[in-house]
Amino acid sequence: MSDENITQQAETQAQVQPTPLRCITGAVISGGLGYAVYSLMIAIATTFATKPIHSDNPMVVNIASAVRTLVVGVTALGAGIFGIVAIGLLALAVQLLVQQVIKPKS
């Protein structure tokens, strides 16, 4: 009995059609998050650049350098993904608008 309810809810949620307004709203949210992550990445990179590693042990220097590179790289990856998603959602909004203009509902 509960399996039928879950199936019906899943089908209802899967049938929601994208609209240009929903795409633009998602693009604004994704772009905002991308900008926030980009700003965080710049702050992290600046902090790492102003605070050098103080050690004579080459292994410590290598590990610290690798960790710093990974941290900045992961934040850059996050910013890039959010940016690409925002661009894709804007492109989808344009496509939906063009489809609505070319083929109006009858």
Single pTM value for the model: 0.77
Number of Cα atoms under 13 Å in the Cβ half of residue 6: 3
Q: Residue 15 has what DSSP assignment? A: T
Q: What is the per-residue pLDDT across 27-60, written as a single tens digit (0 to 9) for each?
A: 999 999 999 999 999 999 999 999 999 999 999 9
DSSP state letter for 65:
H
Quick one: which of 93, 80, 91 has its CA closest to 33?
80
d(CA 31, CA 60): 37
Average the pLDDT over 3-22 and give the result: 73
